Amino acid sequence: MTHLFISDLHLSPDHPRLVRGFLDLLKQYQDKNTQLYILGDWFNAWIGDDYTAPWLGEIVQALKEFNQAGNQVYFQVGNRDFVLGKNFLNQFNGILLPDVYTLEINHQKFRLEHGDALCTDDIAYQRFRSVIRNPVLLGLLKRTPLSFRQKLANGFRKKSSETKQLKNYDIMDVNAQAVDSVIEQVDFLIHGHTHRPEIHSLGNKQRFVLGDWRADSAWILEINEQENSSLDFKKWTY
């Protein structure tokens, strides 16, 4: 069995090469009994499970074929697609994971999360996150027209881009104490969000940071149970 971890694809109709890259990944791993874990920001924006479009339909069809071949897709929400839910995932038997999930592979524990909750130095973002992720507010938003949600998402993206340009680079990274506090009970921590692909050693533990997808490549983590759970953190090109 192959466990594959990716994040921060930021798929959208505006970036067809990223979409092609994801479709190529599904084909590449279709015959490897793959457990695919997508740790947030799968899409550049998600305005609701009732959204449909030809480019998205192609992705759903590929995911159906991927699942029918004996593979499984797991998804954790990110800061760009936190309203993505079970109605969308049910189309290809995808499984929605909680914000923090512990996976055990050959007696080793892996903590999975998107990573934005670890960026505790960014107080303004954490305040915004606590508001926008409120279940009551999310419930109200999902009842609004698609056109309104699209305008809202566009506004969020514009505001986020403007804010990032003004923030200190270090503030947008994870906080060391936050990492130490969550890695205590596991052997490995895997997350994305920061777009800073790297392997960090913390004593006898490791933190894998998955990178964001580019026009022709992406950083992915592959764990093969048949090869003594070997961890292969690699730059995959398409």
Span 158-194, pLDDT tens digits? 777 767 666 777 788 999 999 999 999 999 999 999 9
Contact 211, 218 (CB under 8 A): yes
Structure-block tokens of residue 181: 């506090």
CATH superfamily assigned to domain 2-237: Metallo-dependent phosphatases (3.60.21.10)
The string of pLDDT tens digits covering residues 105-138 is 999 999 999 999 999 999 999 999 999 899 998 8
Report how far residue 8's alpha carbon sits from residue 154's, in angstroms, rounded to the nearest whole number. Answer: 18
Domains of the chain by residue range: 2-237
Amino acid at residue number 124 = A
Report how far residue 45's alpha carbon sits from residue 115's, in angstroms, rounded to the nearest whole number. Answer: 17
For the segment 95-102, the average pLDDT, to the nearest whole number, is 98
Buried b (16+ CB within 10 A) or exposed e, 87-109: ebbeebebeebeeeeebebeeee
